[in-house]
Amino acid sequence: MRQIRWFFQGAGVVMGTLLVLIGCTYDAAVQRLSLAEQSEFYTYRKIMTTAQEHTYLAKATAAERTAYLSEIGLAQRFQALDPLDRDAVKGGWPRVGMSADALRFVWGEPYSTAGDARRYAHWHYLGSSFGRGHSSYPLGGFGNRVDVYLVAGKVVGWVDVAPSTEENQGDGRRR
């Protein structure tokens, strides 16, 4: 029994070390980009898959990275946005009236959704809206969420929701 516990503790240390090193490598890859390239990366990063991000960052030149965005169709998706939406995406903050696709560029895929964005939808994001900008790690208290409301494919508003004390700590009652 003692050997199994030591094994799991050792495996935990190795996994933790690997996660830290991977994070450092990722941050270093982003930092080696010029400021213009970092801006381009942050414009597209929220809608890229992890594999696409790594492929983008592994490209040797800015021209290769830009060509890759066209190859996977993200550059065309961005150019298809309304000019006001493109400005909001570059600013890293949503706006009332922006399209659902533009919201994905700003905040990524929602944690959960209800409804149909082409009619009426309610999207949920984890964290706080105040920390969802260009940061890789959304800020906000544990359990916070942002509820976004869409009508006819357009954002009509959003609200930050902090869970109640009961939701965070429980009150011992079943609901």
Q: What is the pLDDT of residues 6-61, one digit of tens each?
A: 666 666 555 554 444 444 566 777 778 788 888 888 889 899 998 999 898 988 89
| The pLDDT value given to residue 20 | 44
Q: What is the distance between the alpha carbons of residues 107 and 89, in angstroms, rounded to a whole number?
A: 9
DSSP for 95-114 reads -TT-BHHHHHHHH-S-SEEE
C-alpha separations of 76 from 13, 66, 107, 116 in Å:
43, 11, 19, 24
What do you get for the CA distance between the two ends of the chain, in Å? 39
Q: Where does the chain have alpha helices with state H?
A: 2-31, 35-44, 50-58, 62-71, 74-79, 83-91, 100-107, 165-169
Q: Which residue has the tokens 């560029």?
A: 105
Strand order in the sheet with 145-151: 112-116, 120-126, 145-151, 154-161
Fold of 83-175: Beta-lactamase Inhibitory Protein; Chain:B, domain 1 (3.30.1450)
Task: Give the amino acid at 26.
Answer: Y
Residues 55-89 have pLDDT tens digits of 989 888 999 999 999 999 999 999 999 999 999 99
CB-count exposure of residue 103 (10 Å: 0-12, 13-18, 19+): buried
